[in-house]
Every structure is written in C-alpha cells, then in structure tokens.
C-alpha cells in the first residue's frame, strides 16, 4: 500500500496481574482487531489476506519511563491503578487508508470507535498519508486567509464573545457594536445562542451584522462577525446561507453537537470561515491516560474537518488543559499537515489584562484570544475593555501591523455591489427580432474580467439590470457550435429555458439534452455546465436571483 495512516497510542498494561490481555503485544493485537475486523483472532473464515491488508501492523512499541507516567496530570485529575501500578507503553499501528474509505466518519471509527470503551488506551498522535489528506480540503481560509481579510499582521487577533444567553437580539447587537467600536478583530456568538424564542436567529444575525458594519464604517477598520449556526441537521445549511447572504464572513459551530462531517461538508462547500467550538468533547480529555489527546482531536482532526479556528480551554482558565497540551494543540493547528492550510488556535478562558504578556510569550502571534467574561466585566464598559486588551496585545508585538483605513472587502461578495445599469426609462416591452436579439438590449461578453474556461458564448441582460424593480434577472445566453459555459457551482439557483437549437445541460452527474421550451433547474451548489455539441446556435433564457453569490469555478 502507498502511505499508511499511523495512529500512536499510550497504553496502560497490567503486566503483573497474570490474566489474559496483560502483555503489551496482546493488548496491541486486541486494539488492531477491534478497530478493523472486530472478530476473534484467527476467525477470518477463508480469507487469510485480511490479516495482512485490513488489520493494521505494529510499527513501533516501547515502554515509557515510569516518571513520565503522571507528567500530563492536572491537579484535579484522579488517576491511580487498582492493584499494582500498570506500566505505560507508547505504540504505533499502521492502518491501510482503504479501511477509512477516505471519509471522516469511518476515519473517526478507526481512530477511536470501539476502543473508546477500552479503559487503558489513549490516542496521542496521528500521522496521515498524503493520499488520505488529499481527500480533504481542510481550512478554506486558515491563518493566511483570515489575516488577509482583516489586514492585520504580526500580532494575535482578539475575538470578543457575544453573551449571555437571554439578551435580546437588540441588546446583543448593541454589545456587538461596542466590541467593534473598541476594535475587536472578530466577534463570535456564544455557542449556546441558537434560535431561541427570546433571541431569534435571523433577527440576531441581521441586527448584529448591521451593528458591526455601522461600527466598521465609523472606525474605518474591519471587524468580522461569526454567528453560531448550530441547529438541526435539516436547518443548519439554511442558517449558514442566511448568514452568507447577510454578508457574514464566518460562522461558529460545535462539531460534537452537529456532527463533524456536517461541518466538513459545510466548510468544503461554502466560502466561509469556520470557527469550531469544543462543546461535549471534554470526556475525551478527562483522564490523561484515556481518550484522545486534545492536540489530536481539537488540533489535527478539527483541521482536517476544515476548522479555520479551533477554540479550546486555555491553560489557567476554569478548565484543566496544561500549558504543554495547549502548545501541542497549537502546533497541530499551525504546523505542517500535508497540503492543508494552517489554522488559528483560539484559547478561551482565563485571560485578563495582567497575563496578556504571558500569553504572548506562550502562544506567539498566530493565535486568537477568545475573551468573554473579562470584557463584560471591564469597569469602564466593553468598548474600553476591548481597547485596553488590544493596546496590551500590540505592546507585546512591536511589529504588529494593521491598516488605518478599511482593508479591501472579503473575497465573497454579493453581486449587488455591481451597480445596475440604468438607462433612465424602464422599458415595458422588449420586442424580439430575427437573429435572436431584443430591442434596447445589446449582447455582451459572457463574463467580464474573469479568467475562466468558457468558449463561444454571449449574453443579453434582458430584465433586471436596466432599472426594473425585480428580485430576479432574466438573461438570454447563446452558445455557438463547439462552445460551452464555465463549469461552476454557486449558492443561487438557475432556471434555464431552451429557446433556440439544441444543447446539453450537465448537472452533477446527469446529462440532459435541451430542445426548445425544455426547462432545466440547477439546485444550489450543484456543479453545472451548458454545452453546444450541435452544428447550429444553442440559445436559452436563464433566470437567476438578482442578489447572488459569485460562482465557484470547478
């Protein structure tokens, strides 16, 4: 097999107890079987190859020194063995990537599915093959993308948290405006804010985004808003779309509440920043000798999933991550991981004006300080609180750079900023003429200023761009023989109606022939292309939303 997926475990082994399963080779073999074939050893029916291609092989095994045994302990953790102290080993199993089918849910199963019920094993590291990593897009923006959007370099970012639950949307928007006036780089919803009756989602998102945009206009700087989109499986994508349409650049989501692969799907489908919240993951970190190390789960796995920022409990806060673990986690997010963009560690909790310098020395510049309570409790109000934090941060980073004027807009942008061409008089009637033209409407290039693969295609803007008060646009496209449109996808839908000749519509994996008055519907985010394989012009109407997102070329 090409590259393998290597998983490294710490394993406790009661060598002195004398029962079955008490030597490290036996324990490793049990883990290897449990995570793949799940049958007793030797019970492979008539297929001996299973043992060589499906069951992982032991790559490495060595005892850890006894004094390392409690290195990871935080003060309040309870560990001790019943009977004799078990010995601790570190071992690595090499898995054939085929067993994961290159999908996240089955990868999680291989990582810690059944052995989550074992009491003696902790996943402490993963090493993923390039082949496997290529199946994942990872962070869409990551550290470089977010910095570019903000125009802020050389210092950690400050993320202020909107809370508490129970405030109205109006109050939260006012709080958001204050955070933004103070200069926060990012404002995120508390992860418990969903669509409660006392603070409906759409109202909150609209008002907070407005409040922040108004503040940005005053400060001539840029604060990004990341609303929480955690919701039911059948609603979360709609939440994200609503946020996108409202001009929001990123979202907060808790992968363990909505499913990690749901987040991967959203991150890899939409142009949006993903901030991951660790709610409900704490059980994996409770015992330093069991579970999955935070650096693996909240670091490598969340980055693989597509988190651009990963929130975790800061050392010294109200939860119990050690400084070593926080640094290891930060390294998993920022260090090399195949082709994946580095992501921001976002330590949360336990930050105050007095330990900013300490934080700066510990985490370095590529970090997002996620601050809630400390800002809300600032004696001179939250705006002054943000200013004071920012001042402290900048004082620790002499090369910090941020633009004094508003940085360029984010790449994603509704088309509305492209002002409609108004000719003064709005026509009520466009008369059709021979050769497929309309009165008052000249053909244009298919796309302007975009360097994408398309050929022999022209466009008439018929209705929507000449001052009509429509929420949709009607266009006519014509593709000459041998031509085609860009292969692309986008959030807005298309309705196409063939009116001339014959053409081919590709949607997803389907291929349709369009003849006059045949209609095509292209659902959101479906890859599509129109092609003329005939020997005569192929022409079609295309109806789209007036306000729409930019296509993503494929």
Determine how β-strand 186-189 pairs with β-strand 157-162: parallel
**Per rule CB under 8 A, is residue 487 in the interface with a copy of itself?**
no
Residue ranges in 177-196 that form contacts with a copy of itself under rule CB under 8 A: 190-192, 194-196
Per CB under 8 A, does 364 bind a copy of itself?
no
Task: Please tell me whether residue 27 adopts helix, strand or coil conformation.
Answer: helix
Residues 148-177 that bind a copy of itself (CB under 8 A): 163-167, 171, 175
Q: Which of 3, 29, 64, 109 binds a copy of itself (CB under 8 A)?
A: 109
Q: Binder to a copy of itself among 417, 442, 451, 510 (CB under 8 A)?
A: 510
Name which of 197 and 398 has its Cβ closer to a copy of itself. 197
Least Cα distance to 159 among 311, 377, 299 occurs for 311
- Tokens representing 546? 């007036």
Decide if residue 499 touches a copy of itself (CB under 8 A). yes
What part of residues 27-66 is at the interface with a copy of itself (CB under 8 A)? 30, 34-40, 43-45, 47, 49-50, 53-54
Residue from 15, 98, 127, 131 binding a copy of itself (CB under 8 A):
98
Select from 63, 282, 403, 414 the one that contacts a copy of itself (CB under 8 A): 282
Stretch of 146-154, 313-321, 354-362, 442-450 lying at the interface with a copy of itself (CB under 8 A): 313-321
Q: For a copy of itself, which stretch binds (CB under 8 A), given 71-79, 151-159, 330-338, 391-399?
A: 71-79
Question: Would you call 542 a catalytic residue per the annotation?
Answer: yes
Rounded to a whole number of angstroms, the distance between the first and last alpha carbons of the chain is 30
- Output DSSP code: residue 262: H
264 scored as a contact of a copy of itself (CB under 8 A): yes
CB contact at 8 A, 183 and 219: yes
The whole-angstrom separation of Cα 419 and Cα 232 is 37
Stretch that binds a copy of itself, among 87-95, 179-187, 224-232, 355-363 (CB under 8 A): 224-232
Number of Cα atoms under 13 Å in the Cβ half of residue 200 = 5
Nearest by Cα to 56 from 9, 19, 20, 12: 9
> Is 523 near a copy of itself (CB under 8 A)?
yes
In the complex, the smallest distance separating the C-beta of residue 290 from a copy of itself, rounded to whole angstroms, is: 5
Binding characters for a copy of itself, 396-435, by CB under 8 A (x = yes): ------------------------------xxxxxxx---
Nearest alpha carbon to residue 539 among 510, 506, 511, 515: 515
- For 208-248, where are the E strands, in sequence order? 224-226
Q: What is the DSSP string of 285-321?
A: TSSTTSEE-HIIIIIIIHHHHT-SEEEEEPTTSSS--
112 binds a copy of itself, rule: CB under 8 A? yes
Choice from 87, 88, 290, 489 touching a copy of itself (CB under 8 A)? 290
Spatial CA neighbour of 414 closest among 529, 492, 477 = 492
456 binds a copy of itself, rule: CB under 8 A? no
**Which uninterrupted H or E stretch holds 359?**
helix 356-363
- The token pair at 511 is 């291929």
- Active site (catalytic) residues: 542
């Amino acid at each position: 097999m090409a590259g393998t997926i290597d998983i490294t475990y710490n394993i406790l082994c009661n060598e002195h107890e004398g029962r079955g399963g008490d030597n490290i080779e036996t324990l490793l073999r049990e883990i290897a079987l449990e995570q793949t074939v799940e049958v007793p050893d030797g019970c492979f029916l008539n297929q001996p190859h299973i043992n060589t291609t499906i069951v992982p092989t032991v790559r490495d095994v060595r005892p850890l020194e006894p004094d390392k045994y409690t290195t990871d302990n935080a003060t309040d953790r309870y560990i001790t063995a019943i009977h004799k102290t078990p010995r601790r080993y570190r071992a690595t199993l090499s898995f054939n990537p085929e067993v994961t089918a290159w999908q996240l849910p089955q990868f999680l199963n291989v990582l810690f599915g059944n052995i989550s019920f074992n009491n003696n094993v902790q996943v402490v590291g993963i090493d993923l093959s390039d082949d496997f990593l290529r199946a994942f897009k990872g962070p869409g923006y990551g550290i470089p993308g977010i910095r570019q959007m903000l125009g802020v370099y050389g210092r950690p970012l400050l993320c202020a948290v909107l809370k508490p639950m129970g405030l109205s949307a109006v109050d939260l928007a006012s709080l958001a405006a204050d955070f933004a006036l103070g200069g926060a780089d990012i404002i995120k919803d508390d992860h418990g804010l969903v669509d409660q009756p006392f603070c409906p989602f759409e109202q909150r998102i609209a008002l907070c985004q407005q409040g922040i945009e108004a503040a940005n206009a005053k400060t001539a700087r840029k604060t990004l808003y990341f609303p929480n989109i955690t919701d039911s499986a059948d609603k979360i994508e709609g939440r994200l779309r609503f946020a996108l349409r409202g001009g929001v650049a990123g979202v907060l989501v808790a992968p363990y509440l909505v499913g990690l692969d749901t987040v991967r799907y959203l991150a890899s489908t939409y142009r949006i920043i993903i901030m991951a919240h660790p709610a409900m993951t704490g059980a994996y970190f409770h015992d330093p000798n069991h579970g999955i190390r935070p650096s693996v789960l909240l670091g490598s796995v969340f980055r693989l999933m597509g988190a651009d920022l990963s929130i975790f409990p800061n050392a010294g806060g109200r939860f119990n991550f050690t400084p070593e673990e926080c640094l290891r986690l930060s390294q998993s997010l920022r260090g090399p991981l195949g082709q994946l963009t580095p992501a921001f560690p976002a330590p949360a909790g336990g930050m105050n004006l007095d330990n900013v310098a300490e934080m700066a020395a510990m985490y370095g510049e590529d970090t997002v300080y996620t601050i809630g309570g400390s800002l809300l409790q600032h004696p001179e109000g939250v705006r002054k609180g943000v200013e004071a934090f920012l001042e402290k941060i900048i004082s620790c980073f002499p090369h910090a750079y941020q633009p004094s004027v508003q940085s360029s807009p984010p790449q994603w942008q509704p088309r509305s900023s492209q002002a409609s061409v108004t000719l003064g008089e709005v026509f009520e009637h466009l008369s059709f003429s021979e050769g497929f033209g309309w009165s008052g409407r000249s053909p244009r290039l298919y796309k302007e200023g975009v360097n994408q693969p398309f050929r022999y295609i022209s466009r008439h803007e018929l209705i929507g761009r000449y001052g009509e008060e429509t929420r949709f646009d009607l266009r006519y496209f014509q593709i000459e023989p041998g031509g085609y449109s860009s292969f692309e996808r986008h959030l807005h839908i298309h309705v196409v109606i063939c009116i001339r000749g014959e053409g081919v519509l590709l949607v997803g994996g389907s291929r349709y022939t369009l003849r006059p008055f045949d209609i095509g519907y292209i659902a959101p985010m479906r890859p599509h292309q129109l092609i003329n394989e005939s020997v005569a012009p192929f022409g079609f109407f295309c109806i789209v939303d007036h306000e729409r997102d930019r296509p993503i070329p494929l």
